[in-house]
Amino acid sequence: MARSVTPRRKLLNTTVAWAIGLLIFFPILWTILTSFKSEAQAIAAPPIFLGFDWTLENYRVVLERSDYARFLWNSIIIAGLSTVLGCIIAVPAAWSMAFVPSRRTKDILLWMLSTKMLPAVGVLYPIYLIFIELGLLDSRAGLVVVLMLINLPIIVWMLYTYFKEIPGEILEAARMDGATLRQELLYVLTPMAIPGIASTLLLNFILAWNEAFWTLNLTAVNAAPLTAFIASYSSPEGLFFAKLSAASTMAIAPILILGWFSQKQLVRGLTFGAVK
Amino acid sequence: MATKASRSAARIMMAPAVILLLGWMLVPLIMTLWFSFRVYLPLRGGDQGWAGFDNYTRFVTSSAFWPSVQTTLIIVLGVLAITVIFGILIALLLDQPIWGQGVVRILVIAPFFVMPTVSALVWKNMFMDPVNGLFAHLWRFFGAEPVSWLSDASMGSIIMIVSWQWLPFATLILLTAVQSLDSEQLEAAEMDGAPFLKRFWFIVLPHLSRAITIVILIQTIFLLAIFAEIFVTTGGAFGTRTLSYLIFQRVLESQNVGLGSAGGVYAIILANIIAIFLMRIVGKNLD
Amino acid sequence: MSLKSTLCAATALSLITASSAFADGHSATITIATVNNGDMIRMQGYTDQFTEETGIAVEWVTLEENVLRQRVTTDITTNGGQFDIMTIGMYETPIWGANDWLVPLNDLSDEYNADDILPAMAGGLSHDGTLYAAPFYGESSMIMYRTDLMEAAGLEMPDAPSWNFIAKAAREMTDRENDINGICLRGKAGWGEGGAFITAMSNSFGARWFDEEWNAQFDTREWSDTLNFYKNMMDDAGPAGFATNGFNENLSLFNQGKCGMWIDATVAASFVTGDDSTVADSVGFALAPDNGMGKRSNWLWAWALAIPAGTQQEAEAKQFIEWATGTGYIELVAENEGWANVPPGARTSLYENPDYQAVPFAQMTLDSILSANPNDSTVDPSPYVGVQFAAIPEFAGIATEVSQEFSAAYAGQQSIEEALEKAQAITNEAMEAAGYR
């Protein structure tokens, strides 16, 4: 609904929008700034905004203490694989729900979503026991499966809303031309659904990256991702604001950068069928 | 639509995926149900037999149960209200022609990428700390007594932290919807001299209703299960114990898995009631 | 690059990495779960020396205290086998030992000299006379105070003060204009935070958690005296928002010169006299206060290393424990970072060492440790072992909820009577569920 406005109006809008944007972003900016301060300056009163002695000391300490690369790599693998796997399983399911709907489709979808509301901690012991049984504790494979299952309902739902927006006539036409179900799926549907699939992948990558219950409780060393990295810097003894800020910056930077670069894609696809 | 043949073919082909999917989701549910009927105390030797409905009655009659349901609902409703209202306002603003729109949008969506643990830690220590937090400095600068946010305004603080995390999500979805609004219709209304509020109420809001529904539905799902924000900030004290936090306390702090599982079943029931409720009210928007 | 090819590349990449991700080999590597306290982090720094000496590699899982607790408890109760060594405390050790979940440490080498472990620590880390965890460091609690502020207030701190003196001194030292609070104490919810402090304090007021039939005792005058005394003193002389302050918050306040007194863990002594402190030159120490009833308000705690039963690396784990909790490690730290920074409170020989006796807080730490007795901590008889806790599996859960009610009372959200009523109900409810009553 964008329209042309007077320059004065535009200036006003710009000012307000920038003010709000900076306000919302400020906590992150403050964390990044604090990560370059010494511990003493991090709690100085009154707070120092830019005129402090910039130092990389906190990053040095954090890198020396923790194997950041390993945590980062685990986060990438676990979030990435669980998302891809989830999509592979969800595409057919969402497809059948969108194009061959039955009376129960909406109920099933809703029920799937409601399973996400099950508090994870309630099943910690059973899942832990199953993991021991299967030898999956502290393995990336185990986490990939768990995170995939957790996010599956959202993936199915997102894909379902995209598929529903694809006009049925195109599929009809393909079928008339004698396309098989497989061909229909592969050559007609998938290309059209690519923006949707891409933003589904992105959103679920973010969700998996930020998941902090299972990734903490089912890992020790080999599969521990960045959430476990953060848990070793939250509230230790002594002053810790600056080191915590450095660790936090390192934990969110990769996903923040990915998010920024792909934000157009994310915005385009993140409609959940909200736009008709 | 699809022919009868293709319909059944699709069914047969898709059935395994759907069944697998549902089956996978049933596993935790069935396990929760099973354990909720057992006396399962990990620190006292594990599974010690059937409990009947003891866990259910004990969980629901505990003095902490109803307050925790209430707390859960207040947090969910509070966050929904804030994110939807501010989401609409920011979406409308971002839709206007402004300089540096892309950058502003990036600034606004950034909180969505921050891990809940990190955001809770940052808010708690660097902003809400009554001595060293930025808010305390700000208050003192204006000559006011610093507020102990997490004890004196515990619910408000948690709602604020969670809203900050979810505002980008709401804004994004609402923005997409705003952008798809037919501008001619609006301009026509403007020419007819309809004031902004009227235009908003009769044209913009109806157009956004579907997006608002989506925001409410998706956020409710995530908000009902929020945990890290409470674990890090108040640990469930000062009236911030939600249902999922109460279950955490039963399972991990009191080490009573049976009791916690019964709580889990109540949580699912509550979630489904809310889901059905949501569908009844706004379901027509989803077709 | 088009979106499609990006997706393909991403998928291919993840599949390749997945195939290599699932293979992990073990060769004499031990995994240790530990808490992110300063002394443990320092120990991690010296791990290379251990690996050099023995050829055993060490993997650290360092977590914040609350997360560590749930992590190791889940693992030990399900026999998960994720860790070869766990860092646990005086509360967990006797309970886990009784369940045969830990490897007994009764066959440590002569060189290690287990008899050198302070008897109070060894006692708290044993079950039926068998040691199940070796203390890395031990602590009690004591008063740390600002000698300059005390002098300015015209008062003199006795070595063993009473609560009345402390309350009076706290009010006199308070100077809100200059942001100085007379006293900083823990008020944060959590059994190991504010819960530990108020329980230890209540001991000196003659209160106890349970009578000999395991009935909760929060309806007694002693508990109401304790909480009223605490709240009145903190309202008058405590920092803003004390209801959310734990060890860390108070440490940071004290180091910034905003507290006149602080009663907390003895290990804090090396922090408040260390580099991060702005008041390092003017800190004095005294025993935790009493009320003339025969018990002081100090606790007893140890962070200790234990080996879960069923580990594949028992011999290697024992080797590490002997290295980390032995006298050699203490000397190593002393040599590199000075005697004030060695892990305190674990060994008798440390306190007999003249070099260590020169450290200002050494004697007061030892005296505090020696004045706490987990087997006789309350004025009236009680059925439980432990000073600031009761060593039963249900305690952590109950005490956390009880301390949440207390914190709400500190913050003024409910009256002390209401908090105690709820505490009584919570405790009896849980004890009934666990079959004690």
Q: Are residues C100 and C155 in the same domain?
A: no
The minimum CA-CA distance between A101 and chain B, rounded to whole Å, is 9
User: What percent of chain A lies above the pLDDT cut of 90?
Assistant: 39
Q: Assess whether A162 and A142 both reside in one domain.
A: yes
Task: Tell me the sheet residues that pair with C127.
Answer: C130
Does residue C311 share a domain with residue C212? no
Q: Is the Cβ of B45 closer than 8 Å to some Cβ of chain A? A: no
- The reply to whether C356 and C294 lie within a common domain is no
Residue C110 neighbours by CB distance under 10 Å = 7
**Same-domain status, A180 and A99:** yes
* B151 contacts C411? CB cut-off 8 A: yes
For residues A89 and A226, membership in a common domain is answered with yes
* Residue B96 tokens, joined: 């206007």
Report the CATH number at residue A142.
1.10.3720.10
C-alpha distance from B43 to closest chain C C-alpha (Å): 6
How remote is the C-alpha of B224 from its chain's centroid?
5
CB contact under 8 A, C77 and B46: yes
Specify the pLDDT at position A149.
85
Q: Do A27 and B127 touch (CB under 8 A)?
A: yes
Distance of alpha carbon C352 from alpha carbon C395, whole angstroms: 36
Domain of residue C51: give its range: 28-139+301-363
Q: Which of A43, A126, A212 sits opposite B117 (nearest CB)?
A: A212
Confidence of residue A111 (pLDDT cuts 50, 70, 90): confident
Number of separate domains in chain A: 2
Whole-angstrom distance, CA of residue A161 vs CA of residue A274: 9
Contact B41 C408 (CB under 8 A): no
The answer to whether residue C373 sits within a structural domain is no
- Is residue B7 very low, low, confident or very high in pLDDT (cuts 50, 70, 90)? low
Instruction: Name the residue with higher pLDDT: B157 or A172.
Output: B157
Confidence grade of residue A70 (pLDDT, cut at 50, 70, 90): very high
Give residue-wise pLDDT tens across range C390-399. Answer: 999 989 999 9
Residue contact A17–B93, C-beta within 8 A: yes
C79: nearest CA partner in chain B: B42
Same domain, residue pair C356 and C291: no
Q: Is the peptide bond before A236 cis (omega within 30 degrees of 0)?
A: no
Residue of C nearest to A126 (CA): C78
Q: Which residue has the higher pLDDT, A169 or A72?
A: A72
Lowest mean per-residue pLDDT among A49-58, A65-74, C97-106, C405-414: A49-58
Please check whether residue B178 touches A, CB under 8 A: yes
- Residue ending a domain, choose from C328, C363, C398: C363
Q: List all chains that touch chain B, counting a touch as 3 or more CB pairs closer than 8 Å.
A: A, C
Same domain for C285 and C194: yes
Query: Is C312's Cβ below 8 Å from some Cβ in A?
Result: no
Looking at the fold, whether A126 and A20 belong to one and the same domain comes out as no
Nearest CA distance, A77 vs chain C (angstrom): 7
Which pLDDT value is given to residue C21?
Answer: 39
- Give tens-digit pLDDT for C198-250: 999 999 999 999 999 999 999 999 999 999 999 999 999 999 889 989 998 89
Query: Using CB atoms, which residue from A18, A114, A251 is nearest to B118?
Result: A251
Q: Which chain A residues touch B11 with a CB distance below 8 Å?
A: 96, 100
Classify residue C87 by its DSSP letter.
E
Task: Name the residue range of residue A114's domain.
Answer: 67-232
Cβ–Cβ below 8 Å for B231 and C66: yes
Region for B224 from its dihedrals, namely left if φ exceeds 0, alpha if ψ lies in -120 to 50, beta otherwise: alpha
What number does CATH give the domain B32-286? 1.10.3720.10
Portion 27-56 of C in contact with A at CB < 8 A: 31, 33, 36-38, 41, 44
Q: Is C244 on the interface with A (CB under 8 A)?
A: no
pLDDT for C9 equals 47
A32 and A168 part of one domain: no
Domain with C49 in it: what CATH number?
3.40.190.10
Task: Determine the Cα angle at A148 with ends A121 and A257, to 5°.
Answer: 100
* Nearest CB neighbour to C413, from listed B131, B238, B250: B238
SS (H, E, C) B96-143: CCCCCHHHHHHHHHHHHHCCHHHHHHHHHHHHCCCCCCHHHHHHHHCC
Same domain? For A39 and A133 the reply is: no
Copy the structure tokens of residue A110.
């809703």
Backbone angles phi, psi at C419, to 5 degrees: -60, -45
Same domain, C168 and C246: yes
The string of pLDDT tens digits covering residues B201-229 is: 888 888 888 889 888 888 988 898 888 89
Q: Do C430 and B131 touch (CB under 8 A)?
A: no
In a domain, C15, yes or no: no
Q: Decide if A1 is inside a domain.
A: no
Q: Which chains touch C (3 or more CB pairs under 8 A)?
A: A, B
Query: Could you tell me if A28 and A113 lie in one domain?
Result: no
Residues of B in contact with A152 (CB under 8 A): 21, 24-25
| Chains in contact with chain A (at least 3 beta-carbon pairs closer than 8 A) | B, C
With CB atoms and an 8 Å threshold, state whether A198 touches C14.
no
Predicted confidence at residue B225, as pLDDT, reads: 85
CA distance readout (Å), B209 to A106, A274, B197, B204: 19, 9, 16, 9
Q: Does B160 contact A at CB distance below 8 Å?
A: no
Does C223 share its domain with C289?
yes
Are B263 and B59 spatial neighbours (Cβ–Cβ below 8 Å)? yes
Higher-pLDDT residue of A259, C72: C72
Does some domain include residue A122? yes
Question: Closest-CA residue in chain A for B204?
Answer: A1
Please say if the pLDDT value at position B286 is more than 80: no
For residues A187 and A96, membership in a common domain is answered with: yes
Instruction: Report the distance separating Cα B55 and Cα B72, nearest Å.
Output: 21
pLDDT at B275 over 80: no
Specify the pLDDT at position C330: 96
- The residue ranking higher by pLDDT, A140 or C2, is A140
- pLDDT tens, chain C, 437 aa long: 344 444 444 444 444 444 443 434 445 899 999 998 889 999 999 999 999 999 999 999 999 888 898 899 999 998 999 999 999 999 999 999 999 999 999 999 999 999 999 999 999 999 999 999 999 999 999 999 999 999 999 999 999 999 999 999 999 999 988 889 999 999 999 999 999 999 999 999 999 999 999 999 999 999 999 999 999 999 999 998 899 899 988 998 999 899 999 999 999 999 999 888 899 999 999 999 999 999 999 999 999 999 999 899 999 999 999 999 999 999 999 999 999 999 999 999 999 999 999 999 999 999 999 999 998 999 999 999 999 999 999 899 999 999 999 999 999 999 999 999 999 999 998 898 888 87
Domain count, chain C: 2
Distance from CA of B237 to the nearest CA of A (A): 18
